[in-house]
Chains A and B, each alone.
Chain A
Amino acid sequence: MKDEEIKATILKLLQEIAPDIDPEELGMDDNIREVFGIDSFDFLQLIIGIDKEFGITTPEADYGKITTLRSLIAYVKATK
């Protein structure tokens, strides 16, 4: 799966959780929670959505390592 496809899926999931955001605002290395001011419940929903979409299981211990688009994409690729 290409990086762009993973990115598009993540942004789609993010917009379902927080339709108020503008994905254009987000740089590859920006902290997603900080840029959009989303709370920890929303972020949890995003990870659960990513797990479901890509058929992976992200343990709670890894949540702190996947805070940016770049790290999320790399994580999905490495885990899938």
Chain B
Amino acid sequence: MKDTLYIPGKETPNMPDYDSLCDKFKWENEFKNLERLPGGGLNIAHEAVDRHANSHLANTVALRWIRKDRSLIDFTYSDLKIQTSQFANVLEKLAIKKNDSVFSLVGRIPYLYVAALGTLKTGAVFCPMFSVFGPEPAFQRLSKGKAKVLITTTKLYQKKIKQLMPRLPLLRHILLTDAKQHIDEKVLSLSMLMDEAPDEYLISNTQPEDPALLHFTSGTTGMPKGALHVHQAVLTHYVTGKYVLDLQPGDIFWCTADPGWVTGTSYGIIAPLVNGVTNIVDEEEFDAERWYSILEEHRVNVWYTAPTAIRRLMRLDFKPLEKYDLSNLRLIHSVGEPLHAEEVIWGKKTFGMPICDNWWQTETGGIMISNYSSMEVRPGSMGKPLPGIEAAIGNIVEDKVQLLTKPMEQGHLLLKKGWPSMFRAYLDEEERYKKCFKGEWYVTGDLAKKDEDGYFWFVGRADDIIKTSGHMVGPFEVESTLMEHPAVSEAAIIGKPDPLIGELVKAFVVLKPGHERSEKTKLDIKGFSRKKLGPAVAPKEITFTDSLPKTKSGKILRRLLKARELGLPEGDKSTLE
């Protein structure tokens, strides 16, 4: 299927031809398009906000916040410069220093965006958490990330954080976004602090390799790991915003992801602002009619969303173009999990343009492989590597990479290391970090194939990590929590394929003697895990079983459980206990 979005002569994308840009692309040339700090440093917030606030874009809307009730607040680049400077001054007053960690646990409200960018101005590290996390995932992250400050709401503090405080001795301050008064010396009103803070701030002279952002991601073993990104990552945000999302002057851009996940930070905050466009933020959760009416009312030009949402939109029983004027919409991208061919084609039928799938992960910091507006879109494919990125397929034999060069051979998806937004560490886990690299290649943990024309095709994960609604869930952290329930003897977690959310978290539970396999026990375990983990991580389904399949060394064979669940061949069982 030959299908490019742009008709030559009608519109000119930033990348009119993929191959010719690949030939001449140099990161250092793109770097010249950033301003850098007067002292020679590089700071994400300067590139995203202050640079534009000091230019002809000062009065351009940087952030349009749509409240749940649909009322609006616009923040120009100039407004955002003032507010982020005030926030940076608040942190300075609280004696937050360079490299200290500032966390958030809050929905999509302006303070989240102000806090993220204001933190970056000071040289401290910002770590956004998904507000639907339960107390345990929040604790893991706050504790491992050595959080000094947390921005949250009174309700979330009372419900999830207060109980953790004795276990978080390093957490010095909680800033409540909705409190009118300070509660005590530790729990403060953010608006009071902001009112008192000066609105000018000299940005810390951060260097490209200084830490900036911390995003936690799940592993197969152990608790979530903190992928650390540096200020240099802004170059990837800029380049992908320009060439993949094709952001152009005057554009209205909407990334539907929550900043609690890496997409919502890289593309829900940084990339659109670095590219000087207007960024839409909707406080509300998914609602099909609301989303279409936002696209219409705000004349969105470029829309970056996720397969889970696209599948929900596909359930609607009307044709959106008959009901809504979406004539401003020029480009739709999707990320989070692979977009099936039928979903790409549905986009073509529904909006007159295929939905461009792309691939990346927390560790890569930005889009690495993508379908592009000016290149033939192959439905079901991940697309081709971003200019400046080298991707390959390979086997790992005796700890070394052997590249596979024949078309459609399946192997590990590899990226040549050294791109600007590559993670620089797993926080305090040097060995775990080193294990991700084999020679000059970063091993992504995903399996893929490459066709004869250089398009990549996603196959699956090389490990047991579950991808649910586009988010990674590590089986170990869920199993550990289930084991804390008094009735549970053993537990194993798998991702059960689901037509809407990719995979749902499913638990197999072995009960301790004396506990009944009843619906009541099941609900009790489910409720217990939801309270601790939150609905985004806790199992949606629980099945009781007599025993779990294990290797001779006692490791749970999750793949065997999954094969049984799906009625598939059970594969190599030679290691079975």
Contacts and interface: CB of A to CB of B under 8 A. Distances in A.
Given A18-B535, A41-B469, A59-B316, A64 B500 contact: no
A63 interface: yes
Interface string A49-64: 0000000000111011
B504 A41 contact: yes
Interface in B310-361: 312-313, 315-318
B558 interface: no
A63 B317 CA distance: 13
B539 to A, nearest CB: 12
Contacts of B501: 41
Contacts of B312: 40, 60
Of listed A15, A20, A64, residue having the most chain B CB within 10 A: A20
Nearest to A33: B285
Interface string B526-538: 1110110011100
Of listed A15, A41, A59, residue having the most chain B CB within 10 A: A41
Interface in A14-64: 15-16, 18-20, 33, 37-42, 44-45, 59-61, 63-64
Contact of A16 (B286, B288, B308, B523): B523
Contact of A20 (B317, B318, B531): B531
A63 B288 contact: yes
B527 A19 contact: yes
Contacts of B315: 59-60
B500 A60 contact: no
Given A37-B534, A41-B540, A63 B287 contact: yes
A38 B313 CA distance: 20
A33 B316 CA distance: 21
A37 B317 contact: no
Contacts of B577: none
A14 to B, nearest CB: 12
Given A19-B530, A60-B317, A39 B523 contact: no
Interface string B276-291: 0000000001111110
A39 to B, nearest CB: 5
Contact of A60 (B285, B288, B504): B288
B429 interface: no
Contacts of A16: 523
B526 A39 contact: no
B523 to A, nearest CB: 4
A18 B526 CA distance: 8
Contacts of A37: 132, 159, 534-535
B409 interface: no
B316 A61 contact: yes
B524 interface: yes
Nearest to A15: B523
A40 B534 contact: no
A57 B483 CA distance: 39
A19 B534 contact: no
Contacts of B289: 61, 64
A20 B527 contact: yes
B514 to A, nearest CB: 21
A41 to B, nearest CB: 5
Contact of B530 (A20, A40, A41, A59): A20
Contact of A61 (B288, B523, B534): B288
Interface in B485-538: 500-501, 504, 523-524, 526-528, 530-531, 534-536
Contacts of B504: 41
B109 to A, nearest CB: 13
Nearest to B312: A60
A60 B48 CA distance: 37
Interface in B406-448: none
Contacts of A45: 540
Given A19-B527, A37-B159, A44-B500, 15 more contacts: A18-B527, A18-B530, A20-B527, A39-B535, A40-B286, A40-B469, A41-B469, A41-B540, A42-B535, A60-B313, A61-B288, A61-B317, A61-B318, A63-B288, A64-B287
Interface of B: 132, 159, 285-290, 308, 312-313, 315-318, 469, 500-501, 504, 523-524, 526-528, 530-531, 534-536, 540
21 contacts: A19-B523, A19-B524, A19-B526, A20-B531, A33-B285, A37-B534, A38-B535, A39-B132, A40-B285, A40-B286, A41-B501, A41-B504, A41-B535, A41-B540, A42-B535, A59-B317, A61-B288, A61-B289, A61-B316, A64-B288, A64-B290
List of 6 A-B pairs having minimum Cβ-Cβ separation, nearest first: A19-B527, A64-B287, A60-B315, A20-B530, A20-B527, A19-B523
